[in-house]
């Protein structure tokens, strides 16, 4: 990455922010009335310098460009792909990789909430519905926004090494504990994107089949079972798995999944979720 302003004192690293025109570029999108920051584009697609790493963000602006049939980003990606060492996308940024043809014959993922729209682009793409991020050769793609941080951490480890002191110090400094398993993806279940694979709450530490099966049995084999008994049974299954989980975030994700499973029952989704969280986290 290149630019006039250095971003790191530890490594020779620089940044170019590239857009159609130089200057301030709003992150806002049409009718959406939230506060939108502005980025300052340092280069245009026509005068951008040689690049080592090309990083493509997501966002609602991608939808606007697609609706306007604006293919300037796709053209830029195709023109630069052979020369870059790595091409990365976050969230819906993979829609540009797909529609430019660069994902043909490759594995990729994207934001699970925008799954249908993104995956309607491109040909011969192996879309992975349950993945925090994917790596296929020099192409890296991540799921939704926060997954991009985890992918970037994995990418930096790939570049600088597992035990790089600068990277460790940076993560400790920002107090961020990244997910390091690319297969960890509870949101594929939340957004019902288990098209070809099972959503994965546990990454490499999946629960035993007996526990998972008992959850299915409690939900499906006795449709007339009392709702409150079913809820209690689900909570019991959750509590069995808590000891096997490595991070509190995964526990919370599991609570959300079970709330989603039960949300069509007599009680409201919010009440069920509240009861599960209260029982599972009580001291």
Is 254 in the same domain as 167?
no
DSSP E strands in the chain: the ranges are 18-19, 23-26, 38-41, 43-44, 53-56, 86-89, 107-108, 126-127, 133-136, 139-142
Question: What is the total count of domains within the chain?
Answer: 2
Instruction: Output the pLDDT for position 129.
Output: 93
Average pLDDT of the segment spanning 231-260? 48
Is 134 in the same domain as 218?
no
Q: What is the mean pLDDT of the chain?
A: 76
Instruction: Output the pLDDT for position 274.
Output: 58
From the list 162, 159, 94, the residue with the least C-alpha distance to 131 is 94
d(CA 78, CA 185): 30
Is 22 in the same domain as 149?
yes
Is 28 in the same domain as 159?
yes
Active-site residue flag, 109 = no
Is 39 in the same domain as 162?
yes
Is 32 in the same domain as 115?
yes
Domain containing residue 58: CATH number: 3.40.50.880
d(CA 97, CA 61): 15
Q: 232 in a domain, yes or no?
A: yes
Cα-Cα-Cα-Cα dihedral sign, residues 14, 20, 24, 28? negative
Domain region containing 29: 18-174
Reply yes or no on whether the pLDDT at 240 is more than 70: no
Task: Spot the catalytic one: 65, 87, 91, 259.
Answer: 91
d(CA 3, CA 158): 23
Is 64 in the same domain as 146?
yes
Average pLDDT of the segment spanning 234-245? 44
Q: 127 in a domain, yes or no?
A: yes
Q: 184 in a domain, yes or no?
A: no
Is 143 in the same domain as 38?
yes
d(CA 170, CA 149): 13
d(CA 188, CA 49): 37
Is 137 in the same domain as 208?
no
Q: 227 in a domain, yes or no?
A: yes
Percent of the chain with pLDDT over 90: 44
Is 220 in the same domain as 268?
yes
Q: Which of 43-52, 169-178, 209-218, 248-257 has the lowest mean pLDDT?
A: 209-218
């Amino acid at each position: 990455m290149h630019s006039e302003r250095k971003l790191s004192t530890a490594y020779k690293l620089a940044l170019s922010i590239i857009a159609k025109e130089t200057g301030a570029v709003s992150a806002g999108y049409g009718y959406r009335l939230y506060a939108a920051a502005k980025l300052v584009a340092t280069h245009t697609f026509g005068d951008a310098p040689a690049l080592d790493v090309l990083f493509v963000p997501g966002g609602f602006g991608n939808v606007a460009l697609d609706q306007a049939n604006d293919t300037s980003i796709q053209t830029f990606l195709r023109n630069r792909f052979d020369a870059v060492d790595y091409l990365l996308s976050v969230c819906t940024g993979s829609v540009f990789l797909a529609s430019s043809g660069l994902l043909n014959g490759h594995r990729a993922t994207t934001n699970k909430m925008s799954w249908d729209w993104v995956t309607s682009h491109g040909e011969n793409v192996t879309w992975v519905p349950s993945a925090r991020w994917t790596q296929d050769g020099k192409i890296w793609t991540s799921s939704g926004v926060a997954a991009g941080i985890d992918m970037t951490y994995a990418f930096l480890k790939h570049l600088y090494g597992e035990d790089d002191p600068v990277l460790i110090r940076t993560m400790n400094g920002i107090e961020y504990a990244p997910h390091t398993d690319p297969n960890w993806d509870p949101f594929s279940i939340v957004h019902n994107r288990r098209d070809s694979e099972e959503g994965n709450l546990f990454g490499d530490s999946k629960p035993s089949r007996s526990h998972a099966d008992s959850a299915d049995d409690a939900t499906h084999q006795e449709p007339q079972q009392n709702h409150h008994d079913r809820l209690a049974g689900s909570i019991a299954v959750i509590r069995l798995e808590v000891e096997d989980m490595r991070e509190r975030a995964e526990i919370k994700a599991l609570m959300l999944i079970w709330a989603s499973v039960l949300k069509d029952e007599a009680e409201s989704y919010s009440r069920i979720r509240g009861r599960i969280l209260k029982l599972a986290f009580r001291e």
